[in-house]
Chains A and B, each alone.
Chain A
Amino acid sequence: MSLLEIKNLRAEVDGHEILRGVNLIVNPGEVHSIMGPNGSGKSTLAQVLSRHETYNVTAGEVLFNGKDLLAMKPEEAACEGVFMAFQYPVEIPGIGNTYFLRSALNAIRKYRGQDEIDAMDFLPMFREKLKLLEMDEKLMNRSLNEGFSGGEKKRNEILQLAVLEPTLAILDETDSGLDIDALRIVASGVNAMRDANRSFIVVTHYQRLLNYIVPDFVHVLVEGRIVRSGGPKLALELEEKGYGAIDLAQSVAQA
C-alpha cells in the first residue's frame, strides 16, 4: 500500500484557487521533491497535507496509510505520523525547547497507546539527536525558537523531525536563507533519517538542496498542478533552463 495518495486535490484560500488538481503517490521510503516557481502552490500543498485550516479543500482526496487525511485535525495528522518542517518556524516565549519536544513526543505516544517517556529516558536520546544536527545543548534551554537565527530555526525543525520520527516528513523550503555550511548540516540530518519506511516530500525552489538530499522523484508544480515528473536529472534541467521553459512546454502540451 502506498503511504500517501493524493487524488485530484483542489484547494483555495480567500476564494483564490491555489491547488488545481494535484495527483501524487508516495510509497514508503521514497523521497519526492516538489519544485516550482514562487507562488505555484508548493507551500500550500505542504500546509494542506499538515492540515492548516486557512486552506479550504474544494475537491479531491488524500489517503495517508489508507486513512482520510483531510478529515484529520492538525494534531491528529501529526499523531498519525505526518511531520512538517516549517518554512517559517514560529517563536513561542516561555516554552522551553526540550519541554515542548517531550510534550509533543508524549502526545504522539499517548495517541498511539504507548507509555509516556520520562525525562530520564528522553534526555540521552535527545542529546544524541542534538549531536547529529551539531546543535548546542544550551540552545535547548531557551524558549521555543526564541532568538534563534534563521539557520538555527531550520536546524531545530530537523531536530524535531529526528526526535518525533514521523513516517512522512514534509520539508517546506528548509533550504531558504541557509548558507552553505548550514545547508550541509541540515541535509545530513535528513539523510540520517532516511530508511525503508520513512518518506519525504522536499519542497524547494532551488535545485541546490537536491545535491545533498538526492530525491527519487522530482515533480514540477506550476499554477497548482504537477506539470512534469521525473528523476533527479529533472531538477538539473530546471536549474539550467528555469521554470519558464517548463511552463511553456506545458502550455504547448495542452494546446
Chain B
Amino acid sequence: MTSAAQTQTRQLEHYLGSFAEFSKRAVGHSLPWLRTLRENALERFCQVGFPTTRDEDWRFTNISAIAEMPFRFSSEPVRISTRDLDPWQMEAAACRLVFVNGHFSAELSTLPNLPAGVHVSSLAKQIAEKPAEIEHQLGAYLDTERDAFCALNTAFAEDGAYIHIARGVVLSEPIQLLFLSAAIGGPLMTHPRNLIVAEEESQAAIIEDYVSLNGSTAAALSNTVTELVARDNAVVSHYLIEREDARAFNVSTLRIQQGRSTNVASHSLLIGGAIVRNNVHPVLAGEGGECLINGLFIGNGRQHLDNYMYVEHAKPHCGSRQFYNGILDGHGHGVFHGRIIVHKDAQKTDAKQTNRNLLLSDNAQIDTKPQLEIYADDVKCTHGATIGQIEEGALFYLRSRGIDELSARKLLLLAFASECLDRMKEQPARAFAQELINDCLFEVSKRRDDAAPAQGTDHGRRWKEVG
C-alpha cells in the first residue's frame, strides 16, 4: 500500500470513528429517512475522500492541511456569555440565531416576534419536533456525489437554521445567523446545515456570519451547507460573511434552487480564515429566473480564498450575473473559478461573469478561470477578467491634491470594493458590509512594506487561463 493511500485510509478511519459516535446520539437518529441520508452521505464521502489538486475543481486549492488535521466533532455546547458576542453585533436585524460550534444557543439568540408566516428555528429543533415538514426538502437538491465536503456535511447534518417564509410574506429586515467557532483544546470541526425555503411571492434576506471566539486556541473547520429554495416569484438575498481567525478553515456551499420568475442574490464577503472555499451553486430551474452572484474577497498574510461558482441554467429566459472582486496582499492567494452551464433547454439565457482583481504585492497571487459549457444555441454568455495593480497614476493624482498616501491608497481600494457594495440591495446588510470592508481595507492599506511590486515574478501568466 502506498503511503498516500495509507494516509487516506487513516483520514477516513478518523471520520468513520467520529460518525459512529455521532450517529448514535445525533438529533433525529431514530428517523429512518434521516439516518439513510446521513449514512449514504458518509459512504459517498468514504468513496471519494478529500479532493486533491489533481481534481479539476480543486486545482488551485490544496486542502491537505484540512484533510490531515484530526478534527474533533464537538458534541457538548461551550459556555459563552453575551459579552463574547459584542464584537459581532449587527444592528437592524429582524432576528438573530447564534450557533456555537455548530449548535444552536437559545440564550444567546434574539428571536423577537416575527411577522406571521415567517418561521425561524434551529434545524435540530425542527428535526426533533416536526421532521415531516423538512423530510422532502433537506438534501433534496444538494449534490453529495460530486462534492466530498457536501457529503461530509450531510453525514454530520444535525443543526443549523431552518427558515420558512410563507407565500406572499415580505420580511423587510434581514435574518442574521451567527456561527461562532470556539476551538479550545484542539482542532474542532462543525458542519452547520441551513435550510431556507421561500414560498411563492415571498421576500426575505438572510445573513450567514462566520466568526471565531476571541481566545480560541486551535484550528476550527466550518464545513457549511445552505440549501436555499426559492419558489416561483420569490425574491431572496443571501449574504455570506467569512471573518474567522487566521487559523480557521471554512468550506461553505450555497445551493440555490430557483423557481419561475424568481430573483435571488448571493453576496459573499470573505475577509477571514486561513483556507476558505466558497461554493455557490444556483440552478435556474424555472423560466425567467434571475440570479445575482456578487462577491468580494480580501486576502493577505498567507490566506487562501477560493471562490467556486457553478451556475446552472436549466430553463429559458433566465439571467445570471456574476461579479467577483478580489484584493490580494502579502502572500495572499485568491481563486475565482466561474463555471456556467447552459443546458439544452435553456434558450435565451443571458449569463455574464466578471472577475476583477487587484494584486497589492509581488507575492500575492490570483488564479482566475472561466469555464463556459453551452448546450443551447440561442444564448448570450460573456465573461471578463482583469488583473491589475493600484493605478499609480490615480494614486499620484489624489496625492497631488493633498491626500496622504495611506488615505489615497485606502480610497482607491474602497472604490474598487464599493462596486460590490453597490450591488447589495438591502440597506442594513450593505451598511454592515461597508463597515467590515472599511476596517479590513484600513489594515491592508496600512502595510506597505513591499509597496512597489518587484520585477521578475509573473502573475500575469495566470491570465492565460482566462480564455
Write the residues of chain A forming the contact surface with B, with a CB cutoff of 8 angstroms: 38, 87-88, 91, 147, 149-151, 173, 175-180, 205-206, 208
Contact = CB atoms under 8 A, between A and B. Distances in A.
Given A173-B288, A176-B233, 15 more contacts: A38-B260, A88-B317, A91-B380, A147-B352, A149-B292, A150-B319, A151-B263, A177-B233, A178-B235, A178-B263, A179-B203, A179-B235, A179-B263, A180-B203, A206-B201
B288 A176 contact: yes
B319 A208 contact: no
A173 to B, nearest CB: 7
A180 B168 CA distance: 10
Contacts of A149: 290, 292
A173 B168 contact: no
A116 B317 CA distance: 35
A1 B448 CA distance: 78
Contacts of B203: 179-180
Contacts, number: 45
What is the size category of the interface that chain B forms with chain A?
20 to 34
A91 B319 CA distance: 12
A87 B168 CA distance: 21
Most buried by B among A38, A91, A150, A208: A150
A180 B425 CA distance: 12
A-B pairs with lowest CB-CB distance, top 4? A176-B261, A179-B235, A177-B261, A150-B290
Contacts of B164: none
Contact of A208 (B201, B232, B262): B201
Q: Is chain B's binding surface mostly helix, strand, loop or mixed? A: loop
Interface string B283-299: 00000111010000000
A88 B380 CA distance: 14
A52 B319 CA distance: 23
25 contacts: A87-B288, A88-B288, A88-B348, A91-B380, A147-B352, A150-B263, A151-B263, A175-B233, A176-B233, A176-B288, A177-B235, A177-B262, A177-B263, A177-B289, A178-B235, A178-B263, A179-B203, A179-B235, A179-B263, A179-B425, A180-B203, A206-B201, A206-B233, A208-B168, A208-B201
Which of B200, B289, B290, B348: most chain A Cβ within 10 A? B290
Interface in B196-213: 200-201, 203
Interface in B253-272: 260-263
B170 interface: yes
B348 A173 contact: no
B312 interface: no
Nearest to B321: A149
Interface centre among B319, B348, B352 (most CB of A within 10 A): B319
Interface string B205-243: 000000000000000000000000000110100000000
Nearest to A208: B201
A240 to B, nearest CB: 11
Nearest to A150: B290
Interface in B414-467: 425
Contacts of B425: 179
B306 interface: no
